[in-house]
Amino acid sequence: MQFKYFPHTEEDLQEMLRVCGVSSVHDLFADVPEAARFRRDYELPQALSETDLRLFFEQLTHPLNAQQLICFAGAGCYDHYAPSVVQNLIQRSEFLTSYTPYQAEISQGTLHYIFEYQSMIAELTGMEISNASLYDGATATAEAAMMAWSNAKKATRVLVSETVDPKVRRVVDTYAHFHGIPLQLIPAENGVTSRAALDKELSEGGVAGVILQQPNYFGIVEDFTGIADAVHGQKGILVINANPSDLAILKTPGEWGADVAVGEGQSLGIPMTFGGPGVGFMACSEKLIRKMPGRIVGQTLDSRGQRCFVLTLQAREQHIRRQKATSNICSNQSLMALYVTIYLAVMGKEGLREAAEMSYAGAHSLCDKLLATGKFRLTYPDQPFFNEFCVDYDGDLDALMAEATECGYLAGVKVGEKTLMLAVTEQRTPEEIEELVEILKEHKEARA
């Protein structure tokens, strides 16, 4: 069994077996009932040398198998710029190969950056408190729904706007169903949450929480004025799922009066990597701190009087509270939280704003040009959008998108029979925008 990850020599093995009082490693499984023993070889490929392994993956990433498309797709995953220092620093093995920082004395690196991460997320979202991160934006939203439900004493349901990303809603639906939370959908009207429907539901009472998204699934920036007061009027909590990269500019969940802000942090420069890993964030008001799921890092002092950081409020967590814990989560997306922290440190106050500004400008430029072709019209005219928007196309949308793909462009995400949703980030050059418009404009409908 000589293999690069197995250090024992034959001599080592014999000596260790002798100490254990057995003659073969298999004897160490003598307590396993025979019917449960696995007595054949696994049907798996043969071991690959490092050279062959590299070749294998190079084959899989050949342009035919992993086409690098110029990305105008969003829908929850965005192609933002990532400064090279970020990827380099998170690869440091002291971060990469460590576990959850239980032993604070030799984990200050991790605890320190999580404290910075929490501070940055709290500041971006305009909230008082942040946890150390969750799996992704969708599960963070589901956790917020459970938080609202456990916070309410006599509520009958949680309201979710139809303008929340359907992928996120599916996850919230799944969690709510099993957890036993009745959900009610608030319909969309011209691409935004119907205020009439929301007000009607709120007036009937019994609402534990309301879940909204900003910018919403269609890229529209909604006006939430007055909603927080109405929700708080009946002791419910307002949850806003926000896109953090836009929060450099947009009114924060805190300013809207939200009690909980959640979302997907991938837009803070994390590579798309086919959808994961990203990072879910959750921030809340101070009064909800003990209802919040996930790890939290706090500041304290050590025995020598130095400022240091430690996992705190652990009595909320599953390893102590078992079935009474606020959640079953027992980790965080720590390395991705580090990614976000370094990204925000490098981009800083101005860089995040500038990237958001460029994304906004690019999306609006693309929109103008698409409308000018005469082949597209805005799906939701007169609604303000940020860096993502929907257009309707009367022809064969699938064929149109397929042609763009042939030309090396991911033209967007199809969100309706006729509706294409496009996103622009600071990575898209004016030339790329021009060329995509050209491709879409020149596309000829096949004749039936």
Partner 1 sequence: MNRTLYGNLIFELSKKGRRGYSLPQDYDRTHSTAELPEALRRSEAARLPECDELTVVRHYTNLSHNNFGVNDGFYPLGSCTMKYNPIINEEIAAMKAFAGLHPLQPAETCQGALEVYYNLQQSLAELAGLSEFTLNPCAGAHGELTGLMVIRAYHEAMGNKKIRNEEMKKDEAPASSNSLNSTFSNSQRTKVLIPDSAHGTNPASAAVCGLEVVEVKSLQDGTVDVDHLRQLLDEMGDQVAAMMMTNPNTLGIFEPRVLEITDMVHKAGGLMYYDGANLNALLGECRPGDMGFDVMHINLHKTFSTPHGGGGPGSGPVGVRKGLEQFLPTPRVVMENEKIGNEENKKDAASASSNSLIFTISHSQSAPLSVGSFFGNFGVMLKAYAYILSLGHENVKHVGPLATLNANYIKERLRDDYLLPIEGLCKHEVVFDGLVDKSTGVTTMDVAKRLLDYGYHAPTIYFPLLFHESLMIEPTENESKETIDAFIDVMHTIAAEAKSDPELVKTAPHNTPIGRVDDVLAAKHPITTYWKSLEA
Partner 2 sequence: MATFESGLYYSESHEYIRVEGEFGFIGISDYAQHALGNVVYVDMPEVDDEVTAGEEFGAVESVKAASDLISPVSGTVVEVNEALEDEPELLNKDAFANWIIKVQLSDPTELDNLMDVEAYKAHCEA
Residues of this chain that interact with partner 2 (CB under 8 A) are 290, 314-316, 320-321, 324
User: Which of partner 2, partner 1, none does residue 206 bind (CB under 5 to 8 Å by kind)?
Assistant: none
CA 152, chain centre distance (Å): 26
94 scored as a contact of partner 1 (CB under 8 A): yes
Letter for the amino acid at 292? M
Residues 381-420 as x/- pattern, contact with partner 1 by CB under 8 A: ---x-x--------------xx--x----x--x-------
247 scored as a contact of partner 1 (CB under 8 A): yes
Contact 116, 122 (CB under 8 A): no
User: Which of partner 1, partner 2, none does residue 284 bind (CB under 5 to 8 Å by kind)?
Assistant: none
Letter for the amino acid at 108? Q
308 scored as a contact of partner 1 (CB under 8 A): yes
CB of 315 to partner 2, least distance (A): 4
Residue 313 burial (CB count, 10 A): 15
306 scored as a contact of partner 1 (CB under 8 A): yes
Report the alpha-carbon distance of residue 123 to residue 136 in Å, rounded. Answer: 19
Report the alpha-carbon distance of residue 135 to residue 237 in Å, rounded. Answer: 22
435 scored as a contact of partner 1 (CB under 8 A): no
CB of 153 to partner 2, least distance (A): 9
CB of 144 to partner 2, least distance (A): 20
- Binding segment for partner 1 (CB under 8 A), chosen from 228-236, 276-284, 375-383, 435-443, is 276-284
CB of 159 to partner 1, least distance (A): 14
Contacts of 355 (CB under 8 A, 6+ apart): 80, 81, 245, 248, 347, 425, 426
303 scored as a contact of partner 1 (CB under 8 A): yes
Contact 387, 362 (CB under 8 A): yes
Identity of the residue, 288 or 401, whose beta carbon is nearer to partner 2 in the bound complex: 288
3-class secondary-structure state, position 188: strand
Identity of the residue, 77 or 208, whose beta carbon is nearer to partner 1 in the bound complex: 77
Contact 211, 144 (CB under 8 A): yes
Q: Which of 106, 196, 372, 399 binds partner 1 (CB under 8 A)?
A: 106
User: Which of partner 1, partner 2, none does residue 196 bind (CB under 5 to 8 Å by kind)?
Assistant: none
CB of 164 to partner 1, least distance (A): 12
Q: Which of 10, 154, 323, 417 binds partner 1 (CB under 8 A)?
A: 323
Helix (H) or strand (E) holding 195: helix 195-203
Identity of the residue, 188 or 355, whose beta carbon is nearer to partner 1 in the bound complex: 355
CB of 200 to partner 1, least distance (A): 19
Helix (H) or strand (E) holding 237: strand 237-242
Q: Smallest Cα–Cα separation from 366: which of 74, 163, 81?
A: 74
Contact 132, 294 (CB under 8 A): yes
CB of 321 to partner 2, least distance (A): 6
Contact 260, 288 (CB under 8 A): yes
120 scored as a contact of partner 1 (CB under 8 A): yes
3-class secondary-structure state, position 327: coil
